[in-house]
């Protein structure tokens, strides 16, 4: 027994059973799945709860990394280590994982505290990505590595294919940083222009500063989203100039 037993109420149990059908994975111990879907903010407000999903997330992150790396290694024999690492970084990114989580309806299944709920916590990419990793960890404990691997592959294989066909959503902050370090030995900086909207529906406006040029401000519902938007603006502007700057874009397209 890895965790203290916790009685899941009938309504929650029905929801968990339905979610398992969508997930395509049946847990022998449904408490593990419930734990994977429990954010620490919920535990802080419910003393009877057995704990949050952070330890399962730690385990699931390792399972995800191993499965993704193994699949890339065995199927992309013509790719160098750097290319494999770049593809993996997209596949296991917060952006990709949160998208998978939403497609499963995981956002509706998360147990979050009232404060986190008011701040839109169940829609935060980090919380969704962490919960999905926790599910991978729970699946490993529940059924072993092979079953957990099959679950992970069902979700990440389409993401691998997106990267290979260049139809994935780019991590522009990483791309811009790689370009800046390679060609100019520097890094972009991000500054906040302003915040708008009420606390429960905040919009952040961020600038990207690189080589004395300011790009933005661009909006986002989180600072990270706004930074991505500003980085995309800067990156597209740089690529449009051609020359050496276009080299990085071409290398990404080849993935």
Task: Give the position of tokens 């690492």.
Answer: 85
Estimate to the nearest angstrom the gap between the alpha carbon of 108 and the chain centroid.
17
Q: Given 31, 57, 61, 171, which residue is catalytic?
A: 61
Comparing CA positions, the residue from 114, 161, 132 lying closest to residue 36 is 132
Estimate to the nearest angstrom the gap between the alpha carbon of 133 and the chain centroid.
9
Burial 141-177 (b: 16+ CB within 10 A, else e): bbbeeeebbebbeebbeebbebbeeeebebbbbebbb
Q: Is 142 one of the annotated active-site residues of the chain?
A: no
Q: Given 133, 142, 218, 227, which residue is catalytic?
A: 133
Cα–Cα distance, 79 to 47 (Å, whole number): 50
Asked if residue 72 lies in contact with residue 84, where contact means CB atoms within 8 angstroms, the answer is: yes
Whole-number Cα distances in Å, 213 to 118, 206, 210:
37, 14, 5
Comparing CA positions, the residue from 241, 92, 232, 254 lying closest to residue 171 is 232
Per residue, the 3-state secondary structure of 172-231, as one string, reads HHHHHHHHHHHHHCCCCEEEEEEEECCHHHCEEEEEEEECCEEEEEEEECCHHHHHHHHH
Cα–Cα distance, 177 to 182 (Å, whole number): 8
Q: Is 133 one of the annotated active-site residues of the chain?
A: yes
Residues tagged active-site: 61, 133
């Amino acid at each position: 027994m890895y965790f203290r037993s916790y009685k899941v109420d009938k309504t929650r149990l029905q929801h968990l059973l339905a979610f398992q059908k969508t997930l395509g994975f049946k847990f022998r111990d449904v408490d593990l799945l419930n734990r994977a879907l429990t954010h620490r903010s919920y535990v802080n407000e419910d003393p009877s709860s057995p704990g949050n999903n952070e330890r399962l997330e730690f385990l699931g992150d390792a399972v995800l990394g191993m499965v993704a790396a193994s699949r890339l290694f065995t199927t992309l024999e013509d790719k160098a280590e750097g290319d494999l690492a770049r593809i993996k970084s997209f596949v296991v990114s917060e952006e990709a994982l949160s998208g998978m989580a939403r497609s499963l309806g995981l956002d509706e299944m998360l147990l979050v505290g009232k404060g986190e709920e008011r701040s839109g916590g169940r829609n935060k990419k980090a919380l969704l990505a962490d919960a999905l990793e926790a599910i991978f960890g729970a699946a490993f404990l529940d059924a072993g590595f092979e079953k957990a691997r099959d679950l992970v592959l069902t979700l990440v294989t389409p993401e691998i294919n997106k990267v290979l066909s260049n139809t994935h959503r780019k991590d522009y902050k990483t791309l811009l940083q790689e370009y800046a370090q390679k060609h100019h030995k520097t890094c972009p900086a991000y500054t906040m222009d302003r915040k708008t909207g009420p606390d429960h529906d905040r919009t952040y406006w961020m600038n990207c500063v690189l080589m004395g040029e300011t790009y933005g401000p661009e909006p986002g519902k989180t600072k990270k989203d706004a930074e991505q938007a500003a980085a995309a603006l800067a990156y597209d502007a740089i690529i449009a100039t051609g020359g050496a700057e276009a080299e990085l874009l071409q290398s990404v397209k080849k993935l």
